[in-house]
Structure 1
């Protein structure tokens, strides 16, 4: 490195300036990508990876995993993990197995009966239901899930019903057993428990029983949120049983007895991680590809087929690691189904700092390989939506509109600020839908080898560009435009009372300019993936996380800018009401958090632009010196 630039470059002649430039250049080099391949080379890489992944191998791996019943922390899950680890090690892929303690909940049994009658239909209980040796109460029909009151927004760790503490007219279910049409979920369980229900029986809309989970805690419960674990028994019966029960209720009051047994407590779980490092690139940034290893019963499409696809991709990308610019971490999450995403949440907590420094994305894979799948789609955070659409168009010739990721599917990385991506290929309702999901019928015969190969190739196609492409495929302009649209929606919900435009000033205009400039620099190869994601990160966090970036939220879907969800209260309530008054401080603080996120993105953008300019200027200096 030169001790000083040529005299003609007077802006850089002063020694302090030179030292500053060298320091900034060193910082820039820490996030620089490896040399960029051509589009043709990336396409060839993608094709070689796809060619290496065969349908026979995918089905063999699926069978090896689906032969085991895999409740998390159990011997079947451990056997599946051992099989995956042995396969990786046999091919020389670095793999590490972490052990973690997780608070899991295994449903054991349930009975739902009308004492003195022969009404005793098939029933199951839910993960994290309370156990009960027999809770008896008069049945109250609460209709459907859509008939239940909403939860209040902006209350943080304490979840209550909308208006509950401000005189809302709510049913008194004290001592009663509530029945409601719909699959068991956390929000209706909370609402019914808050209204005093002694027990809840969900009536499945179909003639089946789907294993599900009803806690609002995310990952293992903490001191901050363990109070939200359900304290009432929860059961599920089929549609026909609900119809029979309602027929009995038509003749007069009916008492229902609900008995549940649930094994809830701490378990040791194992998390397998395969790491593919680009050859010759030290501490390379990486993409996390994850899917859960546990499943209900044999869990063939949910999720042995996805585990097989992950294994095949780990092997294939390891074989071409000398052609990669970014790394790949493949994670088989435990604790998804019966521990509320405990494995992925532990990983996000344990490796938070490294993920913020080197993480480029979280790509989730779930439910692939379904027989009869006909509809392609994707769930993608804002910066990835153009890319997700393009991948499906390039591989399948289908136009899609990616949806916003929900609060599910091991999406434990919003607090880290990682953009999210998942591809979907599902059955149509007219074909019966995904009827075997979370049931004993999710067996190996439900996997279609050709569909699984198609689905795996979509992921491999996307990963090839993410790991080896000349330009990391996020759109910063799309991220900013989505933020602007979300701000407008929240302002409209508040009837203009938030005055976000006034408080933001010209920040959004500046943010648009910076995003466009960074996208152009990414196109030109002047900035790399770490630079792009650094800009996205603060905006992603405020778009997806309510109130707190470090402690997982309850997993209640509140839409973009969830911290500003209480904005509707400003319109719903009178100016002098307590509910409105109490909402105002929350909204002021969330407004400040939004402004800070925009300022952080602007600072990142300006710094990365400066570093790119310095790199370019020094490159020109070297060229001039060498002439």
Structure 2
């Protein structure tokens, strides 16, 4: 442990942090409602009480609330199944819609409770055996990816049977549009109703489908529209401020009272703000802490709004983003280090081993969880304490430490743990403290070069004879050499040169991350769909299966050539930047 580690960790007040949880756990915090305003007023009052400079932003957000739904089996026997509609799904006419129900097996059928719900995506192959046009699809693939597949194949409604077997119905959002829609992305607004049911009820409906023809009626009512929302932002200025800062954030909106998603996170952020402000004289870099609205009801529209609003400042001055969601969960033990970009992998790995004693499983980001800053090029960091995979409360969910109560009325104050929350807050303060007091940013790009090489190698093999990936692989090798030389040069950088050195490291992140993680690029947001790294090149895998004389083949090959140019250009610019630093 470093000196700053001990100072920040010792300053955490477990009682004060838990009092925030107790207060916020009395408030249902739907985006754009009176409950949100009450919670935000509490956060702002606490920041004022601590003397922390802050700003409250208000803007219009496009949000959705599920209201009510019914699922009534009509044939072969009458059966009412409890359900909930999905945010941003279409409403039905007042008298509902009737259609045949078809069950589609998917990868999630044999569920692994350690997998996040965002990973249960489904695939086109699921639809090859059945024509679902004009029918109601029953499937375990229920996120934006699964809904899009059903809609694209002509289904009139989508019923998501939850992959794991907990006795709750989870709230969820099905729009693939990241943040507030634009004229271009608005075409992806969901056009069919979607509802969620328990696994046990899904198995009953599945069994009926196996016996013969099943007809059902669905009624669903969903609010979709504009609401004013609030974004509090705390600003802890460093004593030696060179304009750089670290961004830390988590969402304040919730489903129901949402103790562990995300009242505990909001409390953690408040305590981090208090401790960091108390010790701001020790910081080399400032810290901004944001409480994002419209996460749960607006598909991350709050963090996306801030990425748009503060783009230039974030691009020039932000060293990294740390997202905090669902800390302090009862029974959580195992750290899951998802949402880590390549350049921070070594830093995260070393810190987690030292602080937790666990061997971290460093993972690249999912397209979820307010990861709204990839186009800007910010490195992302993440560490989430989870309940063990063999715990009886573990389920296929997207937060709450992997516990079954996520996004349900069951997520109440008894599901949190004050001691675990204090410990989690200490860990996050250690991450921020080290990054904001280090003379040199602990970024390295050898790992990023390996990521490029791995994915490009896979694509070269998959599309052999159809598209030439060799120029990108050659550019990757040059980048890897430059990154290795830069890594060796780091030890000799000190004093006044360190600030310029850090700026150049940030520049490399800005160059490579939009290519490595986005299709939309620097100024827009990709859909909330799960894609591998270098998403713009993944279409290369499809080329061998297409008719080389077809328009589809020619159009796709043209798109891929342009994406290869984008990739090579980024690698060459990053190589030049790395060589420039190493030669200083």
Whether the 8 Å contact between 1:178 and 1:200 is mirrored in structure 2 is yes
| Structure 2 unmatched ranges of 5 or more | 110-121, 395-402
Picking from 391, 399, 404, the partner of 1:435 is 404
- Deviation of 1:397 after TM superposition, in Å, equals 1.0
SS at match of 1:253: coil
Which residue number corresponds to residue 554 of structure 1?
A: 527
Separation of aligned partners in 2, 1:330 and 1:533: 20
Which residue number corresponds to residue 512 of structure 2?
A: 539
Which residue number corresponds to residue 117 of structure 2?
A: none
Separation of aligned partners in 1, 2:473 and 2:385: 40
Which residue number corresponds to residue 410 of structure 1?
A: 370
Instruction: Say whether 1:493 aligns with 2:473.
Output: no
Equivalent positions of 1:566-577 (< 5 A) are 566-577=539-550
* Change in 2 beyond 3 A, CA 1:66/1:146: closer
Which residue number corresponds to residue 152 of structure 2?
A: 194
Which residue number corresponds to residue 576 of structure 2?
A: 603
Superposed CA offset, 1:424-481 (max 9, x none): 1101232121111111111111111121122111111111110001221211222222
Deviates more, 1:447-456 or 1:323-332: 447-456
Separation of aligned partners in 2, 1:161 and 1:584: 22
Which residue number corresponds to residue 139 of structure 1?
A: 101
Deviates more, 1:190-199 or 1:418-427: 190-199
Separation of aligned partners in 1, 2:364 and 2:87: 26
Instruction: Say whether 1:510 aligns with 2:483.
Output: no
- Deviation of 1:68 after TM superposition, in Å, equals 0.6
Deviates more, 1:585-594 or 1:134-143: 134-143
- Deviation of 1:496 after TM superposition, in Å, equals 5.8
Superposed CA offset, 1:118-153 (max 9, x none): 511211000001111201111111223558xxxxxx
* Change in 2 beyond 3 A, CA 1:503/1:189: closer
* Change in 2 beyond 3 A, CA 1:239/1:170: closer
Equivalent positions of 1:388-399 (< 5 A) are 388-399=348-359
Whether the 8 Å contact between 1:369 and 1:448 is mirrored in structure 2 is yes
- Deviation of 1:329 after TM superposition, in Å, equals 0.7
Aligned CA RMSD, in angstroms, stands at 2.2
Superposed CA offset, 1:470-520 (max 9, x none): 221211222222222222222222226433223564x33432333233333
Which residue number corresponds to residue 113 of structure 2?
A: none
Superposed CA offset, 1:146-199 (max 9, x none): 58xxxxxxxxxxxx99699xxx967432321111134x2111111111111111
Which residue number corresponds to residue 210 of structure 1?
A: 170
Whether the 8 Å contact between 2:472 and 2:567 is mirrored in structure 1 is no
Matched pairs, number: 552
Instruction: Say whether 1:587 aligns with 2:560.
Output: yes
* Change in 2 beyond 3 A, CA 1:248/1:427: same
* Change in 2 beyond 3 A, CA 1:163/1:446: closer
* Change in 2 beyond 3 A, CA 1:574/1:513: same
Equivalent positions of 1:187-336 (< 5 A) are 187-205=145-163, 206=165, 207-282=167-242, 284-336=243-295
Superposed CA offset, 1:78-109 (max 9, x none): 11111111111111111101111111000011
Instruction: Say whether 1:346 aligns with 2:305.
Output: yes
SS at match of 2:295: coil
Whether the 8 Å contact between 1:145 and 1:180 is mirrored in structure 2 is no
Separation of aligned partners in 2, 1:212 and 1:245: 21
| Structure 1 unmatched ranges of 5 or more | 1-39, 148-159, 614-627
Separation of aligned partners in 2, 1:290 and 1:68: 20
Separation of aligned partners in 2, 1:503 and 1:382: 18
SS at match of 2:331: coil
SS at match of 1:143: coil
Which residue number corresponds to residue 89 of structure 1?
A: 48
Which residue number corresponds to residue 461 of structure 1?
A: 430
Picking from 71, 81, 89, the partner of 2:30 is 71
Whether the 8 Å contact between 1:73 and 1:268 is mirrored in structure 2 is yes
Picking from 400, 417, 441, the partner of 2:360 is 400
Which residue number corresponds to residue 29 of structure 1?
A: none
Which residue number corresponds to residue 86 of structure 2?
A: 126
Separation of aligned partners in 1, 2:353 and 2:308: 35
Deviates more, 1:422-431 or 1:103-112: 422-431
Separation of aligned partners in 2, 1:161 and 1:144: 8
Return the TM-score normalized by structure 1. Answer: 0.84
SS at match of 2:80: coil
SS at match of 1:178: strand
- Deviation of 1:606 after TM superposition, in Å, equals 4.1
Whether the 8 Å contact between 2:232 and 2:291 is mirrored in structure 1 is yes
Which residue number corresponds to residue 449 of structure 1?
A: 418
Whether the 8 Å contact between 1:218 and 1:341 is mirrored in structure 2 is yes
Which residue number corresponds to residue 565 of structure 1?
A: 538
User: Rg bigger for which structure?
Assistant: 1
